[in-house]
Structure 1
Amino acid sequence: MTMNEEELEMNMDLDSDDDDLDADLDSDIDDDSDSKRGGILQSTSKRVRMIFSVMASPNRIDILRILNSKGPLTYSELKSLAGFKSKKESGKFAYHLRKLLRQSLVALNKSERRYTITNLGKLVLSLARQIEERSIIESGKMYVRTSGESIEEFNSHKIIQSLVREGSLPLELAQKITEEVENRIYKYQTTYLTGAVIRDMVNSVLLEHGHEEYRNKLARLGMPVYDVQEMVSNLDNVDNGAEGLLFNTGQKIFAEHLLTNVLPKDVADNHLSGDIHISNPGVWSMIPDTIFVNAKELLDDGLDLGGKYLDVSRINVSKQLNEITTSLSVLISLLSKEASKEVVLDGLVAVFAKHSKSLPELEEQLTNTFATASTTSKYNKTSTNISIRLQLGSDTKIIHSIINAYKNYVAITPIPKIGLIIDNEKGKITDVSQSISEILLLGGKVMIAKGQTASSGVTNGSSKSTNSLAINLQSVSINLPRLAFESNKDETYFRARLALLMKPALASMALRKKEISDLTRRGLNPILAKNTQYMQRSSVSLVINLVGLRESIFNILGFKDNKDGRAVLHKVIETAVDVGAKKGKELGDNVTICMTETEGSSRFATLDGEKYGKNSSLNSMESDFYSQGTVINASEIDEYTPKSEIISESNKISKLLNGGLLVTLDIDKNLKVDEVKKSIEKTAELVPSFKLVRATPICGECGFKDEPFEDKCPKCKSPYVV
C-alpha cells in the first residue's frame, strides 16, 4: 500500500454499524465537556478515561497484542494480521489504529513506516490481561492452566476422555473416578488449578481405589521443582551448555519411563535394588551401545540422510581428499549421535589409499577433521567415544599419517573424544610404539587389540565377518558380589542364582533390540537406517557384563586365590556363557558374556556396603568399586612371562569369555617415552589386547596439559586440576 492510500484509509468515514464506535464517540463528547472544567486533576482524569475507552474495543486490544508479540510492522502487515482483509473493513481498521496513535499507545516510525507498541501500550495490555483473569476468577467458574499454554474452563468430560484414552479405563469406572475428582476440586477450591494438579488428584483417587496399574499409565513423568533448581545451580556435570542441561533433563524423564512403564517389573526392581545395573537408561530404547562400522563403505556410497538432518550439507560420493575428509567429519559427528558408548570406525586406511602421494596434506586435513568432529554435540562427560581402528601390516605410510594426525589432534584437545585402536594381529607393534607412547603422554586414548575390539574391551560378537555393521547391546551388568552374599557360601547355589538372574535380563535385552530396531526403521537413527540397511545387513549381539567376579569368589564365598579357587572362578564364567548361549538360542539372538568397564561397579559397591554393613567381607577390598577386568602395572611388566600368574590367568579368562575382557596397562605418570614404549612392546607379547591408562593432569580452568604438573596449573595458577 502506498502512503497516499494509507492516509486515505486513516481519514475515511466509518460505517455506522461498527458496534463500539458509538461508545467511543460518546466518550469523545464527554471528554470535550471535561476539558472546560480545567485543572490538572480533570486533565488526568480525562486521559485515563480516554485510555479506558480505547481498552473497551477488542479490536484495539488485538492490535496491541499483535504489535507486542510481532514487533514493528508496516500498515499492511498489521492490518492483515489484525484480520481486516476486505476493503469494506479498511475504514474500521484505520479508525482503531488512529485511536491508538492519539493516546500514544502505538507509535509510528516515520522513516521506516512501521508501527510499534509504546511502553504505555504495554502497560495497558498488561492491565487488560489482569482484568480478564480476575473477571474469570470472580465469575465463580473453575479455569484450568493447561500444559498447552492456555487457560480453559474446567470440563469434567475431558477427565473422562483422558482416563479412557490414556489409561484404558472402562467408561463406567472412568465416570466414577471423575465424579470423585470433581467433588474434590470444588471442595478444595484451588485458586490456581493446573493440568498437573488435576492429574495428581486423579492418580490419588485411583490409588485409593486400588487401581495401581491404571495410575502408572496416567502418571506424569518429570522432575520435582527442587531437582530442577539443583540442576541449574550445580553445573559441574553439564559439559555442553544449555544443550547438555536439556539433554540431562530429558534422559531423566526417559529413564523414569523405562523403569516404570517399559521394563518388566522384576527387571526394573533388580536394577533399582542393585542386583543388576542398566547403563544409560535414558536412551535404552533409542540407540545401541557400541557399533562397529566400515567407514569406507559409507564414504564410497555417499551419506544418504533422506529427509533427516535437513540442516546438514549433502555430500555426494567423495573422491578428492578434501571431500573425503569433510565427509568423514560429518560421518563422525552424526554417528556419535547413534550410539551411547562407542563407535568403532574401520577401513580408514583403505579410504586414503589413493592419496599416499600427498601425505603432508593428508595429515593436516585429518587433524582438522578430528578437531571439527570433536566440536559436535557432547551432552555430558561420558558422551559417545569414537575409535579409529588401524590394522597394522597394511599401508604403512597411510597408517603413520593417520597416527601423526591423531597426535596433532590430541595435542590441541584437553580431553579427546576420539581414540585409536591398533590391531597388531598381522603387523608389528614396534612399528608404531614410539608414536603411541608420545600420544599417551599427551593424554591420548589408545587400545592395542588383536581383532575387532572396542576400547571398552568388548569384542565384535558378529559371527558373519562379511557384515558391514555390527551392533552390541551391552548395557546390563550383573552384581556378582550381591549374588555371593545371598548364596550362603554355596558355590553351586551361587551359579544357580546367576543363571536365574540372567534369563529375565536377557529377555529385557531382546525387548530392547526390538524397540531400537523399530525406532531406527522409523528414522530415529538415520545413518543406521538409511546407509547400513540396519535390519538386513547388521549383526546384533546381546552382551551381559559380569562385575566383581574376584571379590565374589575370593572375598565372599571364601575360596583361596590358588589353583582350586581359580577353577571355581572359571566355572562361574562357563556357567554364564552356557546360560547365555541357551537363552540366546531360545530368543534367536547372539548372546555373549564380557568383563569390561561400567559405572555400575562403584554403584554396586556402594549399595552393598549400605546393605551388608561395614563389617562385611567388603572390608578386605582396597577400593570403593568392584573389579571389572585385569589390571597390569607397567612398572612390573619386566618381571612377567607368559607363565606368570596374572598373565596366564588373564589369558585363560579372555578365552573363556566370548564377549571380551578389558585388560588395562596402568602406566605411571612419571614414566618417560622410552619407558612407556618398552612397556607397550613387552605387554603386546604377553596378552592379545590391552588398553593404555595413564593419569594426565589437565587444568579445569584453562585446559592446559602441555607439561606435567601437580597442585596448580603452571599457566593460569588455578588449583582446579582434572
Structure 2
Amino acid sequence: MGDLDDLEVDDADELSLDEEPPGSQLLQSTSKRVRMIFSVMASPNRIDILRILNSKGPLTYSELKSLAGFKSKKESGKFAYHLRKLLRQSLVALNKSERRYTITNLGKLVLSLARQIEERSIIESGKMYVRTSHDSIEEFNTQKIIQSLVREAGLPLELAQKITEEVENRIYKYQTAYLTGSLIRELVNSVLLEHGYEEYRHKLARVGLPIFEVQEMISNAENVDNGVEGLLFKTGQIVFAEHLLTSTLPKDMADAHLSGDLHITNLGLWSILPDTIFINVKALIEDGIDLKGKSLSVCRIPSVKTLNDLSSALSMIIALISKEASQEVVVDDLIPLLSRYSKDLSELERKLVDSFTTSSIVVGYNNMSTVVSFRIPLGTEQKIVKTVLSAYKTYAKLTPIPRIGLVIDYEKGRITDVSEILSKIITLGGKVMFAKHKTSQKGITCPKNSTSTVLHLGSLSINLPRLAFESNKDETYFRARLALLMKPALDSMALRKKSISNLIRLGVNPILAANTQYMQRSTVSLVINLVGLQNAVYGILGFKDDKKGQEILHKVIETAVDIASKKDKDLGINVIVCMTESDGSERFIALDGRKYGKGSVQQITDTETYSQGIVFDIDKLSSLTGKSAEITECNKIGKILNGSFLIQITIPKGTKAGDIKKVIEKGASITSSFKPVMQAPICGNCGFKDEKLGDKCPACKSTYII
C-alpha cells in the first residue's frame, strides 16, 4: 500500500505542476523544479535509495534494487518507477560505461536537507530521541536502560529500575531534547558511582578514545606507518589495551602494570595473539594451508610442484603467519624444503629474493613489529645454506628495516664457513641470531625435539629494581616480594592462554587453527622475563659483583624458577623464566625515577635501560675465553634458568665487515648463543642503505641519516 500511495501522490503532484499560473518563465521553472524535488522527497523509498547510494555506491541496478529491499520480481516495476523519478530530477546519475548508479551532489544536498527536517521535527515534537551507536535514531525508552543494566552489569532487576528512574528524572530535568547513547551511559555511570556501585559502573564503562585524541591522531598521521591501515590498527590497539586493563586483567595485575611493578608489551594484542610461534614450514607447504571460510580474498595455495609454486607459497605463508603472532614467528625446515631445487641454485636464489621482498610488503600490516625468522642449521646442505644467505643479503640491502630474520644454528656446523657473508648482512641491518638450538631473535628457546607447533605467551617483564627499592636492602624480603608478584602474574597469563585458545578455535588465527587442530596438537609455554637483576642485586641490595654477590643473584633466579615449577604443576602449562630484552626497561627507569628520584636510579645504571641478559662490547669480548669468569657466570645463569638467557654483543656503528667477522667467530667459540647488535645507517629521505653510507646519502644527497 505504501508504494501505491507514493505512486498516487506523485502522479497528483505532476498533474498539479502542469497547472502553474503564468508568470516569469525563470521563476516558474525554478518553482516547478523545487516542487518536483520535494515530491521526490515525499517517498521514503526514494530517500532510502539516496541513503544507500550515499553510503555504498556506486552500485549496479541489481545491487541497488536488492539493498533497497525490492527482492521479488513483483516489486521490479515499483523499484524502476522510484529510480526513474530520481534520475529525472538529477538526484541520481548513471555511469553508462560502467552501468553503475551514483548519487549526485544535488542528491546529497536533498538527503542532508531531509535529515535536517527529520531532526528538527523530532525536536519540535517535544519527544526525546536518542542517537544510538548503531547508526539510528530511536525514541527514548527507559526499558532499554533497564535491560542494559541487567544484561551488561548484572544488576538485580529492582535495583536496575531504581537507577533508571533516577537517570530518567535527570534527563527530563536537564531538558535535553536530543540525546546520544554515550551521554545516557555517562549519566547512568554517574548515578551508579553516587550510590557506591563502583563495580557495576566498571562493567558499564565505555572503551574508546576522547574526541580530542582522535583528532590529534588524525592531525599527526604523518607519524603513523602503513597509511590508513596503520591508523586503524593503532586505534584498535588503544581500544583493546584499555579493555585489557579495565575489564580482562585482575585489578591487582592492571595496577601492577600501571604502577611499574611489571610491564606488559603489546597491551592491545596481549589477549588476542601469542607472542612467539615456532612452526614447521615444510609441513605447512606439504600439508597445504586450509583457511576454510576465512580470508576469502586470499588465493588458496595449490600443491607445490615447481620452484615458481614454491616461491608463491613461501611468500604467502610468510605474509599470513606474520599476522598470527605479535613479536616473532620462527620458521623451521626451510633448508630441507629447498633441497629438491638444488639443480639451479641461481634461479633458486632469485625466487627466494622474490619471496622475501614480496612478503615483506604485507608483514607488519596487523602487527607492525612482527619478525619472521628462518632457522638455518649449518653442517648440512651447504650449497643451499649459502644460497639462502645470499638471497637474504640482497633482501636486507633492498629493505631499510627488515622484518625477516635469520637464526643461525651452528650446533653441527662451523661458523667460519658462513661468517663472511653474515658479517656483511649485519652491516646492512639484517636481523641475525646465533644459537646451538631452536631459538628466537630474543633468545626464547623452543623445547628440544619438539615436532609440533610451539606457542610462547610472554610479553610480561618484572621490574626487579622496583622490588629491591621496596625491600629495604633485605634480600630475603626481596625474593619473597618476587614470589608474591609472580603467582598472580602467572594466573593472569593462564587466563590469557584461554582467551587466545578460544580465538584460535573460532578461526581468528586460521593458520594456527588448522596447524594446531584447535590447540590440541601444540605446545604452549608461559614466559616470565626478569629485568634489571644485576641493577637490583649489585646496585640496590648492596652486594658486590663477586662470588657472594653472584650467589645471591643465583638465589633470586632459583626463587623465580621454583615458583614457575610449582605453577607449572598447578596450571598444567609449561612455565619458563628468562632474562632477555624488554621494551619495558626504559619505562621502568622513567617510573622509578619519578618515584625514588632520578639520582637514585642513576646510581644503579649508567645507561638508559636496566640490565637485560648480558651485554658485551667488542673490546670486552676480544679479551674473553671460554674459561673467563664472565663466560663461566653466563653459563651458570643459563643452567639455573629454565628458559633463555640472551647475550648481546654491541657493535659500534661503522664497524667494517672484516671486524664483525672476527666478532662472530669469537662469540661462537666461547658461548652457545649470542646476538650481534649494530645500528645500520639509513637515509631517512629515500631509504637508501649501504655499508658505505656516511653523513650524506649518495643517492639523493640528503643529510637526513637515521
Larger radius of gyration: 1
| Deviation, structure 1 residue 126 | 3.1
Counterparts of 2:94 and 2:520, CA distance in 1: 64
Quickly say closer, same or farther: Cα 1:376–1:563, change in 2 above 3 A: same
Structure 2, unpaired ranges of 5+: none
Which of 572-581 and 229-238 deviates more? 229-238
Counterparts of 1:583 and 1:284, CA distance in 2: 20
Q: Match for 2:646: what amino acid?
A: L
Counterparts of 2:73 and 2:623, CA distance in 1: 97
Q: Provide the residue aligned with 1:643 in structure 2.
A: 627
Q: Provide the residue aligned with 2:123 in structure 1.
A: 137
| Deviation, structure 1 residue 47 | 5.1
The alignment status of 1:578 with 2:559, answered yes or no, reads no
Counterparts of 2:498 and 2:71, CA distance in 1: 53
The alignment status of 1:168 with 2:157, answered yes or no, reads no
Counterparts of 2:128 and 2:547, CA distance in 1: 77
| Deviation, structure 1 residue 496 | 0.9
Quickly say closer, same or farther: Cα 1:72–1:650, change in 2 above 3 A: closer
Q: Which residues in structure 2 correspond to 1:85-164 (within 5 Å)?
A: 119-164=105-150
Q: Provide the residue aligned with 1:683 in structure 2.
A: 667
The alignment status of 1:24 with 2:13, answered yes or no, reads yes
| Deviation, structure 1 residue 172 | 0.9
| Deviation, structure 1 residue 224 | 1.1
Secondary structure, in 3 states, of the residue corresponding to 1:220? coil
CA displacement 1:426-468 (0-9 Å, x = unmatched): 11111111111111112111111011111101111x36x2432
Structure 1, unpaired ranges of 5+: 1-13
Q: Provide the residue aligned with 1:632 in structure 2.
A: 616
Counterparts of 1:162 and 1:19, CA distance in 2: 44
The alignment status of 1:564 with 2:548, answered yes or no, reads yes
Q: Provide the residue aligned with 1:514 in structure 2.
A: 498
Quickly say closer, same or farther: Cα 1:400–1:86, change in 2 above 3 A: closer
The alignment status of 1:406 with 2:395, answered yes or no, reads no
CA displacement 1:177-221 (0-9 Å, x = unmatched): 111111111211235411111111111111111111111111111
Q: Provide the residue aligned with 1:619 in structure 2.
A: 603
Q: Provide the residue aligned with 1:431 in structure 2.
A: 417
| Deviation, structure 1 residue 656 | 1.7
1:210 to 171, 181, 196: 196
- How many residue pairs match? The answer is 704
CA displacement 1:216-265 (0-9 Å, x = unmatched): 11111101112212222223652211111111111111111111111111
Q: Provide the residue aligned with 1:3 in structure 2.
A: none
Q: Is the contact between residue 434 and residue 674 of structure 1 (CA under 8 Å) also seen in structure 2?
A: yes
Q: Is the contact between residue 635 and residue 667 of structure 1 (CA under 8 Å) also seen in structure 2?
A: no
Q: Is the contact between residue 597 and residue 662 of structure 1 (CA under 8 Å) also seen in structure 2?
A: yes
The alignment status of 1:440 with 2:433, answered yes or no, reads no
Q: Is the contact between residue 392 and residue 426 of structure 1 (CA under 8 Å) also seen in structure 2?
A: yes
Quickly say closer, same or farther: Cα 1:237–1:585, change in 2 above 3 A: farther
Q: Match for 2:171: what amino acid?
A: I
| Deviation, structure 1 residue 688 | 0.8
Q: Is the contact between residue 467 and residue 537 of structure 1 (CA under 8 Å) also seen in structure 2?
A: no
The alignment status of 1:232 with 2:221, answered yes or no, reads no
The alignment status of 1:599 with 2:583, answered yes or no, reads yes
Q: Is the contact between residue 325 and residue 369 of structure 1 (CA under 8 Å) also seen in structure 2?
A: yes
Q: Provide the residue aligned with 1:5 in structure 2.
A: none
Q: Is the contact between residue 556 and residue 617 of structure 1 (CA under 8 Å) also seen in structure 2?
A: no
Which of 529-538 and 435-444 deviates more? 529-538
Q: Which residues in structure 2 correspond to 1:465-480 (within 5 Å)?
A: 465-480=449-464
1:253 to 234, 239, 264: 239
| Deviation, structure 1 residue 676 | 1.3
Quickly say closer, same or farther: Cα 1:421–1:143, change in 2 above 3 A: same
Counterparts of 1:677 and 1:708, CA distance in 2: 17
Counterparts of 2:384 and 2:85, CA distance in 1: 76
Quickly say closer, same or farther: Cα 1:22–1:191, change in 2 above 3 A: same
Counterparts of 2:57 and 2:699, CA distance in 1: 48
Q: Provide the residue aligned with 1:183 in structure 2.
A: 169
Secondary structure, in 3 states, of the residue corresponding to 2:324? coil
| Deviation, structure 1 residue 28 | 3.0
Quickly say closer, same or farther: Cα 1:720–1:381, change in 2 above 3 A: farther
The alignment status of 1:343 with 2:332, answered yes or no, reads no
Q: Is the contact between residue 238 and residue 379 of structure 1 (CA under 8 Å) also seen in structure 2?
A: no
Quickly say closer, same or farther: Cα 1:640–1:177, change in 2 above 3 A: same
Q: Is the contact between residue 711 and residue 721 of structure 1 (CA under 8 Å) also seen in structure 2?
A: yes
Q: Is the contact between residue 10 and residue 40 of structure 2 (CA under 8 Å) also seen in structure 1?
A: no
Q: Is the contact between residue 543 and residue 549 of structure 2 (CA under 8 Å) also seen in structure 1?
A: yes
Counterparts of 1:116 and 1:294, CA distance in 2: 50
| Deviation, structure 1 residue 356 | 1.9
| Deviation, structure 1 residue 129 | 2.7
Which of 702-711 and 18-27 deviates more? 18-27
1:495 to 479, 491, 501: 479
Q: Is the contact between residue 322 and residue 364 of structure 2 (CA under 8 Å) also seen in structure 1?
A: no
Which of 362-371 and 72-81 deviates more? 72-81
1:505 to 489, 494, 498: 489
Taking structure 1 as the reference length, the TM-score comes to: 0.90
| Deviation, structure 1 residue 84 | 7.7
CA displacement 1:319-374 (0-9 Å, x = unmatched): 32222222222211111111111111111111112222221111111111111111
| Deviation, structure 1 residue 82 | 6.7
Counterparts of 2:245 and 2:4, CA distance in 1: 65
